[in-house]
Amino acid sequence: MMPLPEDIKGSCFQSGNKRNHEPFIAPERFGNSTVGFGSNVHSQAPEKVTLLVDGTRFVVNPQIFTAHPDTMLGRMFGPGREYNFTRPNEKGEYEIAEGISATVFRTVLDYYKTGIINCPDGISIPDLRDTCDYLCINFDFNTIRCQDLSALLHELSNDGAHKQFDHYLEELILPIMVGCAKKGERECHIVVLTDEDSVDWDEDHPPPMGEEYSQILYSSKLYRFFKYIENRDVAKTVLKERGLKNIRIGIEGYPTCKEKIKRRPGGRSEVIYNYVQRPFIQMSWEKEEGKSRHVDFQCVRSKSLTNLVAAGEDVLEDQEILMHHPPQVDELDRLNAPLSQMASNDFQD
């Protein structure tokens, strides 16, 4: 990687971390032999392109990109470059990676040279992850090397949780949702129990909290998956991506079996249930949820008048109301009124 002369003073090319940044220029090859350092090296200069990232110019040999055709830059500067939608500007520079800092981009360029990205201190793993996703570079343990293992493993766990929940959604959760939809329901509440859990309710005295409307899913694997709050957040993201709404995922108490029966005064019995903390999923696919929950409590007659006869009738009705129901007089008005007016009001009363 070689900066242009005007960019030598840029912060992207500082040597504060004491790393030697060699130019990203691949050797020219002729046949099966590699050109050495003889006179033929200067006979044909390698092709170079200028990449403009975050206001910083990177002069590179495009051959380092073609060695990785599955990446964005590999396709961009591959054999079909003439069909590429990205065109250079008036200066012949390629403006790419909008929104990515030059420091992160310089770090990612190590991948095209060694196949490994060494993340230095000061660069966050989420930013590096976003850059790899943008450039279509695999973000895994074989590619990334960093000091902060916690941040790296967190990103890898998010990837694994996303793929794992996709499998759980298709194999375990979706069949229950389809069963609710066939009954005309437009929402679903699923409680995840372990394979060892058992539900034994008293038919005469069921739990008084509406658990009978919940769907039960026995899966110890899904139970362990929802044990982590990060996995629950990933699951919410997946469900939102699939178009579901009103998503709630958490831990709640669920009655499994009756523990004892208490006798209340009057001969009434009360069943005490044993509750266990288990994950639950609640979601909706209702399209008109706002209209379904809207209720008109009163109808107000329109004030618009269509003719003069109706207007006259309204005036007569208002006059009759005033005659039979005179306006009330506030006590403060009585105290502040003149004596003659107070006597008149008392006489009317």
Rounded to a whole number, what is the distance in angstroms from the first to the last CA of the chain?
100
Tens-level pLDDT at each residue, the chain (349 residues): 444 444 433 334 333 343 444 444 333 333 333 333 343 444 455 678 889 898 899 998 888 888 898 898 888 887 766 556 667 888 888 888 788 899 999 999 999 989 999 998 889 999 999 999 999 999 988 999 999 999 999 999 999 999 999 999 999 999 999 999 999 999 999 999 999 988 888 777 777 766 557 899 999 999 999 999 999 999 999 999 999 999 999 998 888 887 777 777 776 777 788 888 999 999 999 887 666 655 555 544 545 445 545 555 555 555 554 455 555 544 444 445 555 454 444 444 4
Q: Are 48 and 57 in contact (CB under 8 A)?
A: no
Neighbours of 193 (CB within 10 A): 20
Q: Are 269 and 261 in contact (CB under 8 A)?
A: yes
| Residue among 2, 5, 41, 36 at smallest CA distance from 21 | 2
CA dist list (Å): 131 to 85, 184, 227: 20, 45, 30
d(CA 241, CA 132): 21
| Structural tokens at position 54 | 């975050």
Instruction: Please list, in sequence order, all residues whose beta carbon lies within 8 angstroms of the beta carbon of residue 231, skipping any fewer than 6 positions away.
Output: 161, 165, 225
Q: What is the pLDDT of residue 41?
A: 42
3-state secondary structure of 9: coil
How would DSSP label each residue in 71-138? SHHHHHTSTTGGG-S----TTSEEE--TT--HHHHHHHTHHHHHS-EE--TTS-HHHHHHHHHHTT--
Please name the helix (run of DSSP H) or strand (run of DSSP E) that holds residue 316, with its range, or none. helix 308-324
d(CA 145, CA 141): 7
- Neighbour-count burial of 13, counting CB atoms closer than 10 A to its CB (0-12 exposed, 13-18 middle, 19+ buried): middle
d(CA 240, CA 246): 9
Q: What is the pLDDT of residue 165?
A: 97
Q: What is the pLDDT of residue 294?
A: 54
Position 50, amino acid = T
Instruction: Please list, in sequence order, all residues whose beta carbon lies within 8 angstroms of the beta carbon of residue 75, skipping any fewer than 6 positions away.
Output: 69, 84
pTM of the predicted structure, to 2 decimals: 0.61
Q: What's phi and psi for 276, nearest 5 deg?
A: -125, 150
Q: What is the pLDDT of residue 243?
A: 94
Select from 3.10.20.30, 3.30.710.10, 3.30.499.10, 3.30.420.40 the CATH code of 47-146: 3.30.710.10
Domain boundary assignment for the chain: 47-146, 163-282
d(CA 75, CA 82): 11
